[in-house]
């Protein structure tokens, strides 16, 4: 009995010392901290975007430029100063080349995609894929996107006739699924005729958030080695098999029948033909274009229509601009017309400011890094978290941040935006590769919709909008809209 009690005391003392030491990690480096407690560290039970915005605010209140937090017992560097953030993203990128997010390519080759790859493998692939996203290539996909917006318009007309309220996110995700299905896979998903198509079903499944998924995600991030040993995978096997088959079948069909189309798949096929990419790599890239492309854009459109529904003056001003530009071209939308719609651009940028579809950015320190202007050195292996929501809603950078005001991005005001404070697509060499594609798709959709309908927010929507669970920003309770023909 005596031995057992002694053993328990020793075990407890060792564990206590380990935790104490762990939680003093940032203090030793003289980096400000909050009040971590075992076992969750600084984690609180609120949705992750809000969690990290709150941490941003706490450090801001302390008047510091950066801080250190703990996810469970794992230290995470948390810069809030735009200059430090820009250095990490851009100037000192060589020290932060990777996201450091959990992935398991060995058990799941589909994760060997641009978003997750690291170091030289990422660098080589990024160079190969960059030509895929030039404005010339975007222009080629313009008509495909425009055509995908017509079934969306027809569906809204049907809903107006039947008097049904519009589930904004769902209907917009049908549109963005059709766009990415066409442009990345060369497949007509026909989501509006078949809302339970496999593409839409798997899309829903990938982004369906549950508290369990959120906890699993944090666990994998904090203990990647352990998660790999347990052979955790990020994407369910049936989803992986579906994308494997779709891409392989499309590849074989096109190469055997000499079919050439203006889409991403064509560009991937060409990279495969000259042995630049293997079949697994082609599948992995088509897959990431799908998951990175459709939910982010549907989210942006959902928030945009809800703000326009709440701010009729802004909606009318935008519709006027759209009509004026379209009238110059016999009512037709052309690729070049989008550039003439200056206010449309401002509305989209302001939506991404107030509601960035991705709110948390990850980097991992890949080489020891001395933070400029300090004597603090971050060790290789330390993870970095950056909250775009914190920056975008900081009243020092965007006064009255919860007010939706597209004029912040007018030519006159835009120049006052401090570099590094507006980062909807991230920054530096790992900035979103699909930003042009996502913006063009969003604008085409808004033009088709506003030309035809006036939107209001239905009372079923909880306002002000509250951010919910999810890696991609969601709205608690959803966004419900009413539409009228104009
Ligand atoms: C409005 C729509 C979109 C938003 C808001 C968005 C946002 C982002 C953000 C914030 C990142 C991380 C950047 C960083 O860590 O610095 C990212 C990365 C990425 N996005 Fe997007 N994205 C959008 C649309 C798209 C589309 C349409 C595609 C592809 C067709 C795409 C493909 C990617 C890829 C492949 C990466 C990883 C890039 C790399 O690591 O080299 N995104 N995106």
> For 199-231, how does the pLDDT look when each residue is reduced to its tens digit (9 = 90+)?
888 888 888 877 777 777 777 877 887 887 877
Q: How many Å lie between the centroid of ligand 1 and the Cα of residue 286? A: 13
Residue range 63-74, pLDDT digits in tens: 999 999 999 899
Residue range 130-163, pLDDT digits in tens: 988 999 999 999 999 999 999 999 999 999 999 9
Q: How many Å lie between the centroid of ligand 1 and the Cα of residue 296? A: 8
Contacts of 1 (CB under 8 A, 6+ apart): none
Q: What is the pLDDT of residue 187?
A: 85
Residue with tokens 């790599």: 281
| Residue that wins the pLDDT comparison between 445 and 192 | 445
Q: Is the pLDDT of residue 166 over 80?
A: yes
Could you list the beta-strand ranges (E) of 290-382: 360-364, 369-370, 377-378
Closest ligand 1 atom to 352 CA:
5
Q: How many Å lie between the centroid of ligand 1 and the Cα of residue 425? A: 6
Residue range 175-187, pLDDT digits in tens: 999 999 998 888 8
Q: Is 353 exposed, middle or buried (0-12, 13-18, 19+ CB in 10 A)?
A: buried
**Total of domains in the chain:** 1
Closest ligand 1 atom to 437 CA:
27
Q: Is the pLDDT of residue 366 over 80?
A: yes
CB count in 10 Å sphere of residue 478 = 17
Q: What is the pLDDT of residue 218?
A: 78
Asked if residue 190 belongs to a domain, the reply is yes
Ranking 7-21, 76-90, 365-379 by mean pLDDT, the lowest is 7-21
Binding site membership of 96 for ligand 1 (Cβ less than 6 Å): no
Which structure tokens are listed for 46? 């609120």
Q: Is 223 exposed, middle or buried (0-12, 13-18, 19+ CB in 10 A)?
A: middle
Binding site membership of 448 for ligand 1 (Cβ less than 6 Å): no
Q: Which letter, b or e, does each residue of 19-57 get, where b requires 16 or more Cβ atoms within 10 Å of its Cβ?
A: eeebbebbeebebbbbebeeeebbbeeebbbbbbbbbbe
Residue with tokens 């274009």: 289
Q: Are 354 and 363 in contact (CB under 8 A)?
A: no
CA distance 119 to 293: 23
Closest C-alpha to ligand 1, atom 11: 432
Of 172, 127, 176, 123, the C-alpha closest to 290 is 176
Residues in the chain: 486
Asked if residue 4 belongs to a domain, the reply is no
Q: What is the pLDDT of residue 188?
A: 84
* Average pLDDT of the chain to the nearest whole number: 92
Q: How many Å lie between the centroid of ligand 1 and the Cα of residue 174? A: 19
Q: What is the pLDDT of residue 216?
A: 78
Binding site membership of 437 for ligand 1 (Cβ less than 6 Å): yes
Range of the domain at 240: 28-485
CB count in 10 Å sphere of residue 155 = 18
Reported as a pLDDT band with limits 50, 70 and 90, residue 261 is confident
Q: Looking at residue 267, which CATH number applies to its domain?
A: 1.10.630.10
Binding site membership of 425 for ligand 1 (Cβ less than 6 Å): yes
Mutate to test the pocket of ligand 1, among 298, 432, 438, 441 (most ligand atoms within 8 A of CB): 432
Asked if residue 13 belongs to a domain, the reply is no
Asked if residue 20 belongs to a domain, the reply is no
Q: Which of 7-21, 103-117, 232-246, 331-345 has the highest mean pLDDT?
A: 331-345
Binding site membership of 239 for ligand 1 (Cβ less than 6 Å): no
The Cα-based distances of 273 to 117, 137, 279 in angstroms read 22, 19, 10
Q: Is the pLDDT of residue 333 over 80?
A: yes
Closest ligand 1 atom to 184 CA:
30
Q: Is the pLDDT of residue 90 over 80?
A: yes
Closest ligand 1 atom to 89 CA:
16
CA distance 206 to 125: 24
Q: What is the pLDDT of residue 251?
A: 92
| Residue that wins the pLDDT comparison between 293 and 455 | 455
Which structure tokens are listed for 379? 């060790």
Binding site membership of 75 for ligand 1 (Cβ less than 6 Å): no
Q: Residue 486's Cα: distance from chain center in Å?
A: 33
Closest ligand 1 atom to 426 CA:
16
Q: What is the pLDDT of residue 401?
A: 98
CA distance 293 to 472: 11
Q: What is the pLDDT of residue 47?
A: 87
Closest C-alpha to ligand 1, atom 21: 432
**How wide is the angle at C-alpha 234 spanned by C-alphas 218 and 114, nearest 5°?**
100
Q: What is the pLDDT of residue 433?
A: 96
Closest C-alpha to ligand 1, atom 3: 296
Q: Is the pLDDT of residue 319 over 80?
A: yes
| Residue that wins the pLDDT comparison between 197 and 327 | 327
Q: Is the pLDDT of residue 484 over 80?
A: yes
Mutate to test the pocket of ligand 1, among 93, 186, 434 (most ligand atoms within 8 A of CB): 434
Q: Tell me the average pLDDT across 79-96.
A: 98
Reported as a pLDDT band with limits 50, 70 and 90, residue 263 is confident
Q: What is the pLDDT of residue 138?
A: 92
Q: Tell me the average pLDDT across 283-293.
A: 92
Binding site membership of 246 for ligand 1 (Cβ less than 6 Å): no
Asked if residue 9 belongs to a domain, the reply is no
Binding site membership of 126 for ligand 1 (Cβ less than 6 Å): yes
Q: What is the pLDDT of residue 211?
A: 76
Mutate to test the pocket of ligand 1, among 122, 292, 358 (most ligand atoms within 8 A of CB): 292
Q: How many Å lie between the centroid of ligand 1 and the Cα of residue 123? A: 16
CA distance 467 to 136: 36
Q: Is the pLDDT of residue 123 over 90?
A: yes
CA distance 178 to 189: 5
Closest C-alpha to ligand 1, atom 20: 432
Helices 119-129 and 279-310 meet at what angle, rounded to 10? Answer: 70
- Going by the DSSP 8-state scheme, the letter that residue 467 receives in this structure is B
What is the gyration radius of the CA atoms in the chain, in angstroms?
24
Reported as a pLDDT band with limits 50, 70 and 90, residue 198 is confident
Q: What is the pLDDT of residue 308?
A: 98
Asked if residue 10 belongs to a domain, the reply is no
Asked if residue 16 belongs to a domain, the reply is no
Asked if residue 189 belongs to a domain, the reply is yes
| Residue that wins the pLDDT comparison between 241 and 3 | 241
Q: How many Å lie between the centroid of ligand 1 and the Cα of residue 431? A: 7
Ranking 186-190, 220-224, 338-342 by mean pLDDT, the lowest is 220-224
The residues pairing with 370 across neighbouring beta strands, listed in sequence order, are 377
Q: Tell me the average pLDDT across 362-373.
A: 96
Binding site membership of 431 for ligand 1 (Cβ less than 6 Å): yes
* Continuous H helices in 397-434: 411-414
Q: What is the pLDDT of residue 201?
A: 87
Q: What is the pLDDT of residue 26?
A: 96
Of 450, 442, 445, 434, the C-alpha closest to 486 is 450
The Cα-based distances of 16 to 12, 28, 52, 76, 327 in angstroms read 6, 18, 27, 21, 72
CA distance 167 to 480: 5
Q: What is the pLDDT of residue 458?
A: 97
């Amino acid at each position: 009995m005596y031995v057992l009690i002694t053993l328990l005391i020793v075990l407890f003392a060792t564990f206590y010392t380990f935790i104490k030491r762990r939680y003093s990690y940032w203090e030793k480096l003289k980096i400000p901290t909050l009040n971590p407690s075992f076992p969750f560290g600084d984690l609180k039970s609120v949705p992750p975007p809000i969690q990290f915005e709150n941490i941003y605010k706490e450090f801001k209140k302390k008047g510091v430029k950066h801080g250190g937090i703990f996810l469970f017992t794992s230290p995470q560097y948390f810069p809030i100063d735009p200059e430090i953030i820009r250095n990490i993203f851009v100037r000192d990128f060589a020290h932060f080349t990777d996201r450091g997010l959990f992935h398991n390519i060995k058990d799941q080759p589909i994760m060997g995609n641009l978003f997750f790859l690291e170091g030289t493998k990422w660098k080589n692939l990024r160079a190969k894929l960059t030509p895929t996203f030039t404005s010339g290539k975007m222009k080629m996909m313009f008509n495909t996107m425009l055509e995908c917006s017509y079934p969306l318009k027809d569906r809204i007309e049907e809903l107006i006739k039947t008097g049904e309220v519009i589930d904004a996110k769902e209907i917009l995700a049908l549109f963005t699924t059709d766009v990415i299905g066409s442009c990345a896979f060369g497949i007509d998903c026909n989501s509006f005729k078949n809302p339970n198509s496999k593409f839409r079903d798997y899309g829903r499944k990938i982004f369906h958030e549950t508290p369990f998924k959120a906890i699993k995600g944090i666990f994998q991030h904090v203990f990647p080695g352990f998660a790999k040993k347990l052979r955790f995978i990020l994407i369910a096997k049936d989803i992986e098999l579906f994308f494997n088959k779709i891409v392989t079948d499309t590849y074989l069909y096109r190469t055997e029948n000499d079919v050439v189309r203006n889409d991403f798949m064509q560009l991937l096929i060409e990279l495969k033909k000259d042995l630049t990419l293997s079949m697994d790599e082609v599948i992995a890239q088509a897959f990431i274009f799908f998951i990175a492309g459709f939910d982010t854009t549907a989210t942006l459109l959902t928030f945009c229509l809800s703000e326009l529904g709440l701010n009729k003056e802004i909606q009318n001003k935008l519709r006027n601009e759209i009509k004026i530009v379209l009238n110059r071209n016999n009512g037709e939308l052309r690729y070049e017309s989008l550039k003439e719609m200056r206010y449309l651009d401002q509305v989209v940028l302001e939506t991404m400011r107030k509601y960035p579809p991705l709110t948390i950015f990850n980097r991992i320190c890949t080489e020891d890094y001395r933070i400029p202007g300090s004597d603090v050195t971050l060790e290789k292996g330390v993870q970095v978290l950056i909250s775009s929501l914190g920056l975008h809603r900081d009243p020092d950078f965007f006064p009255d941040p919860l007010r939706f005001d597209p004029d912040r991005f007018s030519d006159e005001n835009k120049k006052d935006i401090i570099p590094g404070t507006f980062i909807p697509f991230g920054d530096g060499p790992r900035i979103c590769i699909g930003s042009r594609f996502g913006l063009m798709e969003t604008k085409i959709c808004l033009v088709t919709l506003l030309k035809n309908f006036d939107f209001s927010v239905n009372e079923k929507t909880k306002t002000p909008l509250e951010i919910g669970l999810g890696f991609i920003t969601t709205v608690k309770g959803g966004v419900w809209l009413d539409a009228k023909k104009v």
